[in-house]
Amino acid sequence: MGPLLGGILVLGVDMPFNHKDAEPEHFARICVLRKDTVDSFGFHLRQELEREGHIVRLVVLGGPAYLAGLRDGDQLLQINGEYVHEQAYQRVVQKIKHSGNRVSLGVLDEASYNQLCSNAKPIISALPSFLPDSCPRPHFYVVKNEGRGFGFTATATGGIRGTFLLQVEEGGPAQKSGVPQGARLLEVNGESTISITLSQLTKKLQRRSSHVVLLVLEASAWDTYETHGVQPSAAFAETSSVPYRTRKLHMVKGPQGYGFLLRQEKCQGGQGQFLREIDPGLSAEEAGMHEGDRLLGVNGQSIEGLEHENIVSIIQESGKQVTLIVISNEGDRFFNEKVTLNG
């Protein structure tokens, strides 16, 4: 039996998305859930021999999952806008658990799923199209402390954990950096605000800090992300606004392996996965890996929330080649410098 997943529904969206490769009756339902005082979403996620992927079972009648529109036998295809049908079970469960106070699930009813399979149509064709090109993207802003703080305050909306709006002071550092009035705060120094309270956010900034890196989204864009079932994050940010950019390293395994070690180490903000002991002349060095780079993703998927052993297994199971997403040691320190909100 799969683990019972915790949380409560705030909003359920059940709407068809006609993809060019999908027949009209084959569409995913997007259900958006938020945690509250309830400890469980009221359903189990299972793997079964008769079907591939991840299947919704044991939906509690009248519970949050039921009220959101989830039904027994539904096929889970998407979490927070990410296609997960072919990902490992434990990884999918962890993605739901680490979604904070809000998770968006894209599911397909059992009959439609079976019909797509029998017609040999790609399962991903049942999912909604991605964010429209016209939709504003999150933006990074580096705000300097000019001696009186950063020139903004954050307010919680509706008492919901992790949902903050920014009030920007006229002529203050935040305004000078371009932070828009009323924007949604998504990250502080690379750390998501999705699961924290206003009190916890307040402790993340302090006057002695020289700068803070904010990831924000224009207030007008929030409804578009909500409708598409996508959690806005740094993955959608304008690349021109990123102070330090990530790098993609594609490596082919040689007779002596890739030529690096992956180590879990303490860092600002907790634990991180770092690349060490890079062998000269082997694939890792040739791909551009540097000593101390921090690993952020493997084969296009984030490793956030995964255990060290699971990450090693994902790399090993990649076969003869693997693609890593990394950030430099300097960039990692920049984003994870401990700062807190000025009162």
User: How far apart, in Å, are the Cα atoms of 204 and each of 140, 198, 213, 227?
Assistant: 17, 10, 12, 30
Question: Which of 43-47, 124-128, 322-326 is predicted least confidently?
Answer: 124-128
Phi, psi of 225 (to 5 degrees): -65, -40
| pLDDT at site 50 | 83
Judge contact between 229 and 128, C-beta under 8 A. Answer: yes
Q: Is the pLDDT of residue 200 over 60?
A: yes
| pLDDT at site 160 | 54
Written out in words, the top-level CATH class of the domain with range 247-327 is mainly beta
Say how many CA atoms lie within 13 Å of 61 toward its Cβ: 0
- Which conformational region is residue 58 in: left (phi greater than 0), alpha (psi within -120 to 50 degrees), or beta? left
Q: What is the mean pLDDT of residues 31-56?
A: 80
| pLDDT at site 34 | 66
The ranges assigned to domains in the chain are 8-126, 139-241, 247-327
Q: Indicate the pLDDT class of residue 11, thresholds 50, 70 and 90.
A: very low
Q: What is the mean pLDDT of residues 325-341?
A: 62
CATH 2.30.42.10 fits 8-126, yes or no: yes
What value does the mean pLDDT of the chain take?
77
User: pLDDT for 136-178, tens place per residue?
Assistant: 888 888 888 887 888 898 888 765 556 789 999 999 999 999 9
Question: Which of 120-129, 208-217, 281-290 is predicted least confidently?
Answer: 120-129
Say how many CA atoms lie within 13 Å of 44 toward its Cβ: 8
| pLDDT at site 269 | 60
User: pLDDT for 60-78, tens place per residue?
Assistant: 887 777 877 889 999 998 8
% of the chain beyond a pLDDT of 70: 76
Is 247-327 the same fold as 139-241? yes
Judge contact between 244 and 297, C-beta under 8 A. Answer: no
User: pLDDT for 239-298, tens place per residue?
Assistant: 565 666 678 889 998 898 999 999 998 876 667 889 999 999 899 999 999 998 888 888
CATH of domain 139-241: 2.30.42.10
Question: Which of 22-26, 181-185, 255-259 is predicted least confidently?
Answer: 22-26
